[in-house]
C-alpha cells in the first residue's frame, strides 16, 4: 500500500537497481521534503548487482568491481560512509593475460602489453617486446601515430573498422577484440565507437593518433593524481563484495523514510498534472516519475504515454551472457593465476570470452587453499549459450579452462548465473537513437529515464544516469533547485 500525504510532492522511482537507488539518494539530498517511493518487482533491491556468500566463497553474480576514475561511484561510497570498505585490486594482480593461439589447437597465456588500454597503445616499447603480435603486427601498432586521422569525422564507425584502420587487423584480432568483448559482450562489427568508446574516437580527432592521445591522458592523470594524492587503484570493490553498496543504499534510504514497495509497474499515464502509475493491483499518483528499468521494460510501460518514445526504446538491443563461478583446490590448477584474469580472442575458436581470477584480484573471495575463477560465456556473437543447460555451459567452460589454465581436477564449487537480456548493445546509430529518446523524454513533464541502456553501462555512469533522471523528474516541480550531482 502506498500512502500519500496531501500536498506533499511525490516521486515514484520504478526499478530498484543501482540506477533507481541512486536516483532516490539524489532526491533525498536535493529535495528532502519530497515523498519518494521505489517500486521494485523483485523480492530484493540491487537489480543485477548481488553478492552471494556460500561456505567461504564470495561470489559476485554480475559486477565485481567498478572504475574509480569517474567520480560518481567514489563520491556515492563516501557519502554512504563506506570508504573504509573499499578494496583495490592487489598490486600483483594488476595485469591481464591474453590467450595467444599458436600452432594447431595449442596456445599460451601472455600478458597484455603494459600500457595498452582497450584500443590505445600508451607505450610502444612493451608492444614491441610482447610476443602477442607478430613482428609485422607490432610494427603496424608502432606506426599508428603515422596513420592520418579521418579528415571528416564520420557520424559513426564500428569498433572493428576503427581499430583495424588505426592499429591493423592483427592487433584487432588478438588484442582489441578480446579486450572489448570482455566488457561489452558485443559484435565489434556493429558496436558504435561514438557510443561505446567516445574517448578513443575523440583522441584521434584531438591528437591525430591513439598513441599520442593516450600519452597525453596518462600525463594529465599523473598530474592530477599526484596533486590530489590518489587513494584508490583504478578498479575497486568492497571487502565483502558489491552487495555492500546496495545494502548501504537500502539502509540509508529506508532510514530517511523512502518507501519501498514490491510490485511490478505495468503502465504509466499522465492525467491532468500528475502521473498515474499502474501497479499489479493498484494505481498510484505521483508528481514525477523516474523510470529506472531496462529499456526493453520501459518500452511497454510507456506505450500509452508516447508511442514514439516506446518504439525507440524497443530498438535498443540486449545480449545475454552467463557467468560461471568455479571454485578449485589451488593444486588443481597449474597456472599461477598472477593476474586479474584472462581474455580470449574469438580467432582462438574457444567458447569463453574471458575469465576473472577473483581470488587473485581481491582477498576473502575463496576459502584457504582454494581459488575462485569466474568465466564469461555468451554475448552478441554466441546467442546459442541461452539454449544450453547449466550443465552444458559448465562443461563448455571446463574444456576451455583446461586448455588455457591447465585444470587437473573438477571444481569443488560451481554457480552458474544466467543474464538473458541484461547486456545493452550500443550498436551503430545508438548515439542518434539516444538523442531522439532524450528529446522525446523532454516533451513529457517530470519524467526521467535511467539505466545502463543509455549513456554508459559501467557503475559510475549508471549512478550518474539515476541522478540526472531524478533531476529531470523534479525539474518541472521545482525549477529553482540546485541541480548539482
Q: Which of 28, 36, 59, 63 binds ligand FAD (CB under 6 A)?
A: 63
Task: Tell me which stretch binds ligand FAD (CB under 6 A): 12-20, 199-207, 216-224, 437-445.
Answer: 12-20
15 in contact with ligand FAD (CB under 6 A):
yes
Interface residues for ligand FAD in 71-130 (CB under 6 A)?
A: none
48 in contact with ligand FAD (CB under 6 A):
yes
286 in contact with ligand FAD (CB under 6 A):
no
User: What is the nearest approach in angstroms of ligand FAD to the Cβ of residue 420?
Assistant: 10
Please give the C-alpha separations between residue 452 and each of 20, 314, 466, 479, in angstroms, as whole numbers: 11, 14, 10, 27
Task: Tell me which stretch binds ligand FAD (CB under 6 A): 62-70, 326-334, 345-353, 469-477.
Answer: 62-70
382 in contact with ligand FAD (CB under 6 A):
no
Question: Among candidates 373, 412, 418, 366, which has minimal Cα distance to 392?
Answer: 418
Q: Which of 23, 24, 36, 39 binds ligand FAD (CB under 6 A)?
A: 39
Grid coordinates of 47: 537489480
Task: Tell me which stretch binds ligand FAD (CB under 6 A): 40-48, 188-196, 246-254, 303-311.
Answer: 40-48
25 in contact with ligand FAD (CB under 6 A):
no
Task: Tell me which stretch binds ligand FAD (CB under 6 A): 157-165, 194-202, 293-301, 386-394.
Answer: 293-301
Q: Which of 13, 23, 49, 444 binds ligand FAD (CB under 6 A)?
A: 49
> What values do phi and psi take at 386, rounded to 5?
-60, -25
Q: Which of 107, 241, 288, 294 binds ligand FAD (CB under 6 A)?
A: 294
297 in contact with ligand FAD (CB under 6 A):
yes
276 in contact with ligand FAD (CB under 6 A):
no
Site string for ligand FAD, 313-352 (x = CB under 6 A): --------x-x-----------------------------
Task: Tell me which stretch binds ligand FAD (CB under 6 A): 42-50, 170-178, 225-233, 282-290.
Answer: 42-50
CA distance 191 to 78: 34
CA distance 358 to 373: 6
17 in contact with ligand FAD (CB under 6 A):
yes
Binding residues with ligand FAD: total (CB under 6 A): 36
Task: Tell me which stretch binds ligand FAD (CB under 6 A): 41-49, 114-122, 146-154, 170-178.
Answer: 41-49
- Positions that interact with ligand FAD (CB under 6 A): 14-20, 39-42, 47-49, 62-66, 264-265, 292-294, 297, 321, 323, 419, 422-423, 451-452, 457-459, 462
Amino acid at each position: 500500500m502506498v500512502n500519500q500525504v496531501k500536498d506533499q510532492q511525490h516521486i515514484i522511482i520504478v526499478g530498484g537497481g543501482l540506477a533507481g537507488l541512486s536516483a532516490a539518494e539524489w532526491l533525498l539530498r536535493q529535495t528532502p521534503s519530497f515523498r519518494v517511493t521505489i517500486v521494485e518487482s523483485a523480492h530484493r533491491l540491487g537489480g543485477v548487482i548481488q553478492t552471494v556468500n556460500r561456505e567461504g566463497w564470495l561470489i559476485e553474480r554480475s559486477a565485481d568491481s567498478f572504475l574509480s576514475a569517474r567520480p560518481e561511484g567514489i563520491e556515492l561510497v563516501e557519502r554512504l560512509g563506506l570508504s573504509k570498505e573499499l578494496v583495490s585490486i592487489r598490486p600483483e594482480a594488476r595485469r591481464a593475460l591474453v590467450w595467444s593461439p599458436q600452432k594447431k589447437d595449442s596456445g599460451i597465456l601472455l600478458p597484455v602489453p603494459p600500457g595498452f588500454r582497450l584500443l590505445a597503445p600508451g607505450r610502444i616499447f612493451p608492444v614491441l617486446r610482447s610476443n602477442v603480435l607478430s613482428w609485422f603486427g607490432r610494427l603496424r601498432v608502432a606506426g599508428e601515430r603515422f596513420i592520418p586521422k579521418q579528415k571528416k569525422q564520420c557520424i559513426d564507425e564500428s569498433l572493428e573498422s576503427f581499430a583495424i584502420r588505426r592499429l591493423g587487423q592483427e592487433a584487432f584480432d588478438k588484442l582489441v577484440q578480446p579486450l572489448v568483448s570482455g566488457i561489452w559482450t558485443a559484435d565489434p562489427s556493429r558496436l558504435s565507437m561514438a557510443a561505446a568508446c567516445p574517448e578513443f574516437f575523440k583522441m584521434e580527432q584531438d591528437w591525430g593518433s591513439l598513441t599520442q592521445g593516450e600519452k597525453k591522458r596518462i600525463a594529465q592523470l599523473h598530474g592530477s593524481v599526484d596533486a590530489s594524492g590518489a587513494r584508490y587503484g583504478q578498479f575497486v570493490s568492497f571487502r565483502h563484495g558489491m552487495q555492500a553498496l546496495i545494502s548501504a543504499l537500502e539502509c540509508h534510504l529506508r532510514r530517511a523514510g523512502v518507501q519501498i514497495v514490491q510490485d511490478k509497474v505495468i503502465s504509466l499515464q499522465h492525467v491532468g498534472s500528475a502521473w498515474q502509475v499502474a501497479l499489479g493491483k493498484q494505481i498510484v499518483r505521483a508528481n514525477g516519475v523516474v523510470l529506472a528499468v531496462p529499456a526493453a521494460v520501459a518500452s511497454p510501460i510507456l506505450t500509452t504515454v508516447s508511442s514514439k518514445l516506446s518504439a525507440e526504446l524497443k530498438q535498443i538491443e540486449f545480449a545475454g551472457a552467463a557467468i560461471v563461478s568455479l571454485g578449485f583446490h589451488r593444486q588443481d590448477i597449474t597456472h599461477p593465476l598472477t593476474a586479474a584474469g584472462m581474455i580470449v580472442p574469438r580467432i582462438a575458436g574457444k567458447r569463453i570470452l574471458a575469465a576473472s581470477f577473483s581470488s587473485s584480484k581481491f582477498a576473502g573471495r575463496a576459502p584457504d587453499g582454494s581459488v575462485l575463477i569466474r568465466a564469461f560465456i555468451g554475448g552478441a556473437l554466441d546467442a546459442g549459450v541461452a539454449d544450453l543447460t547449466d550443465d552444458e555451459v559448465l562443461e563448455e567452460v571446463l574444456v576451455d579452462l583446461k586448455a588455457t589454465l591447465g585444470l587437473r581436477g573438477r571444481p569443488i564449487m560451481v554457480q552458474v548465473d544466467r543474464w538473458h537480456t541484461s547486456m545493452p548493445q550500443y550498436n551503430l546509430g545508438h548515439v542518434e537513437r539516444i538523442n531522439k529518446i532524450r528529446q522525446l523524454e523532454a516533451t513529457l513533464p517530470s519524467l526521467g529515464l535511467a539505466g545502463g541502456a543509455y549513456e554508459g553501462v559501467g557503475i559510475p555512469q549508471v549512478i550518474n544516469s539515476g541522478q540526472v533522471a531524478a533531476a529531470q523528474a523534479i525539474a518541472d516541480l521545482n525549477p529553482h533547485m540546485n541541480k548539482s550531482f
